[in-house]
Structures are given as C-alpha cells and as structure tokens.
Amino acid sequence: MKARSLSPGFFRQNRRRLLEIMEPGTMAVICAAGPKLRNGDQHYTYRQDSDFFYLTGMEIPDCTLVLLKPGSAGHETERLFIHQPSETEGLWEGRAMDLEKARLISAAASLAWMDELDEFLSSYIPVFTEVYSSLGTADDVLTHLVDYRLMEVMKQRFPSLHLRKLAPLMTRLRMRKSDEEILAMRTACDITGGAFKRVVGRIEPGMWEYQIAAKLGAAFFHAGAGAHAFEPIVASGKNALVLHYISHSSRCQKDELVLLDFGAEWNNYAADCSRTVPVSGRFSARQRKVYQGLLGVFYQARALMTRGTLMRDFHHQVCEMMEDFHIGLGLYTSVEAKRAPETAPLWKRYYMHGTSHSIGLDVHDPFDRSIAFEPGMVFSCEPAIYIPEEGLGIRIENDILIGEEGPIDLMDDIPLDADELEALMNA
Ligand SMILES: [Mn+2]
C-alpha cells in the first residue's frame, strides 16, 4: 500500500461499535497476524489480519488490541500494545513504529509496548473471565497462531478463562461498509479496471497465460496497489472450466476465449473482477451468442441487487434465468428441465457456483446470509456458464454496492459488451 486512505477516526469508530455489541463484563483480545514463513528464513509478504486492521489500522506484526467492557459501573477501556523495535531490527528493517505514530494511525486512547501485555492481561483476566478471541474453529489455529499461543498460556494460568467467538461480532460490523471503506473499494476497483483496459489490448494468440497474469500484476503495482486481493485466474480455452485455475501454464490459442478473474487490493480492501475475452480479439459466432446471452443474465441479476433481498432468493432467481438461457442455447430442452429432479436441476451442470459473495477487507468477506441486502453492503455479481462439451467457460463479474436507490456498479466503466471488448482489443 502506497498511501493511507482510512482515517484514525474510522478505526476508533470500529472499536466503539465493537464495544457496543460486546456483552457487558467481557474482554476482547485480538492479535496482529504473525509473519508467515515461506521457505528457509524467508517470509511471505506481510498482510495484516483483516479484523485487526479494521480495529487498529496497524500493519505490523506483534501487536495486540485489548478492549474491556465492564459489567455495570466503570469505564470501557481500550489499550493497543505495539511491538517495540530492537536496535538490530532498526538496522535490518528500518522499522520506525513508535507509540506516537501508532496513536496517530489508530486513534487509540491508550497505548503501550508489547512487553507490558502479559502483566495487563494477568491483572484483568481474573475479573474478565469471558474473553472474545479470533479463535473458534480448528482452522483458526492455523490462521490465528499468535492468538492461539497467547490464549493457551493464559488458559493454563487462569483456568476460569472462557473463550467466546469474536467472529460473529466482527461479521456484523464488517458487513456494512462506511463511506471511507467504499472509497477505498472504489479505488481498488478503479485500479483493477485500469489494469484490464491496459492489458486486454495486448492479449494475442500464442501468449502464455502467466504472461497475461504478469501484465495484470504489473499494472496493479504500477498504480500503487499493495497486492493482488487474491491469486489471479487466467484461464484460456478449457482451463476456464476449472473454477480456480491458477497454474497459468498454457498458451492461449487463437480460437479460444481467455477468462480473467483478478482484483487489486487498496488499503487492504479488495476488488474482484472477471472478464472473458477472445484471444484473437474477435468472438466467433457461437462464442458471441453465449457471451451476450450471459451478459443479459448479468444485467438482469444486477438489477435484482436491491435492499431487502436475501442472497439465497437472489441466487435462486438468477438460476431460473440461467435455465431459460441454457434452453435458448440448446443445452437442454424445457421438457428435460421440468423432468429433472429438484435435487439435481439441469442448470447446475453448467453453473455450479453461487452468484454472489460479500467483498471488503477479504475478497470473500464475512457475511451473515440470514440478513437481507442493505445499503452500504458490497457484493460480487458473477453469473457464469461452463460448457464442458464445447470447452467453453465464461464468467462476468462486477462489484456491486447496495445503494439507497438501487444497485451501484463499482465497475461500471470496465467494458462488458462484446462489441466494446472487441473495439478495445483491436484499438
Ligand atoms: Mn468473486
């Protein structure tokens, strides 16, 4: 990330909102993500834990946030513990985080060095035995190793300590995006769209998939994105039938389409875009028919993304449209569709994933499916069709903000129509 766009007030507000929904008489202990070893003594590029970033804005490891919510009398307390760099670290990594800088980023009312955490927790846990933590499922041990180690130590020392799941509370907060978050997501979408427009015209027969992926990445980083929001997918021809194809090891052939599913990360916020284009710059008649038909489904689906709609119902409606679309393409007849058992509808052969997921700090952001779409929520709209018999896979995906008046397409300016795509590719 090249520039900070989220204000200290945003992080302070997030902590306040979390305190509001914590049960009285509880504490929350949330650790920064640890560095993750890649091989030998080398680490993966550091990425902060999304919850920890949301609550503090800090982008370094070895920090812990503690929130205390008293039972009745007494004040709510927050303290952010920060890693104190040693002299050697300063020499090798030039880290210059200090308490004042951390306060400016996070707007935390109280800060301390990490070596004071143990004493702080030891004085409060006997009183606040109910502790919200990022732990919960077995997998959480892998993704929240730092939290796990800390809580194991505390549980041994204070057997009365009882862990509660923080995740459902964070989901409630993170589902609805603030204006600042939406701005960050718009920037992520703009960078993503810019990269597509820059790269698509340079696709040509014989190009390797990894070369297209490299061009997308280069455009992201050139524009100042911090990272890919997820491993990009560049899948030519029948590789597009593999939903998460990431090996990028084929050469694009002139008669094929190439499916791109890619997104930049900006201030830790994700964009998620899919486009499918002809390698030669011209759709064949069949490819165009399937593509434009799917685009029709996309427009109809997007229009349904309004407040009050449940994701389940939305997807169901899209699947009904999908069935009509498939019948129109001759993949099966309406009689066959009616005859199929309810548990195995025919559309599922050609469309086997959901239409939508929440997007935010995580490309698949936490979301409670029992809650209807509300203004401020952001979702993907990604209808697709996969026809194994024809070696054809097409996905179209934009990021949609649920607005007061209806859906707001954050990727509205990234070309979609077959004619527009051809024009862009042959410019
Ligand atoms: Mn997606």
CATH number of the CATH domain containing 164: 3.40.350.10
Please say which residue of 131, 150, 174 terminates a domain: 174
Task: Tell me which H or E stretch contains 111.
Answer: strand 111-113
312 CA → ligand 1 middle, Å: 16
- The stretches in the chain having pLDDT less than 50 are 1
203 CA → ligand 1 middle, Å: 22
pLDDT at 241 (0 to 100): 96
Q: Does 190 map to a domain? A: yes
Question: Distance from CA of residue 141 to its chain's centroid?
Answer: 21
pTM (predicted TM-score) = 0.95
289 CA → ligand 1 middle, Å: 23
Smallest CA-to-CA distance from 15 within 62, 50, 67 is with 67
pLDDT at 1 (0 to 100): 47
Q: Are the C-beta atoms of 95 and 88 separated by less than 8 Å?
A: no
Please say which residue of 174, 209, 235 terminates a domain: 174
Boundaries of domain holding 26: 8-174
Strands 42-43 and 26-31 turn out to be: unpaired
Q: Do 122 and 231 fall within a single domain? A: no
Q: Does 302 map to a domain? A: yes
Q: Does 106 map to a domain? A: yes
Q: Do 109 and 189 fall within a single domain? A: no
Q: Does 255 map to a domain? A: yes
> Cα separations (Å) of 377 from 188, 205, 252, 366, 408?
16, 39, 37, 11, 11
Q: Do 242 and 145 fall within a single domain? A: no
Q: Does 3 map to a domain? A: no
422 CA → ligand 1 middle, Å: 24
The DSSP bridge partners found for residue 111 are 80
CATH number of the CATH domain containing 231: 3.90.230.10
Number of structural domains (the chain) is 2
21 CA → ligand 1 middle, Å: 30
Q: Does 350 map to a domain? A: yes
In one-letter notation, the amino acid at residue 383 is P
Please say which residue of 174, 191, 215 terminates a domain: 174
- 293-344: per-residue pLDDT in tens? 999 999 999 999 999 999 999 999 999 999 999 999 999 999 999 999 999 9
Q: Do 156 and 186 fall within a single domain? A: no
pLDDT at 397 (0 to 100): 98
Q: Do 86 and 210 fall within a single domain? A: no
Q: Do 170 and 183 fall within a single domain? A: no
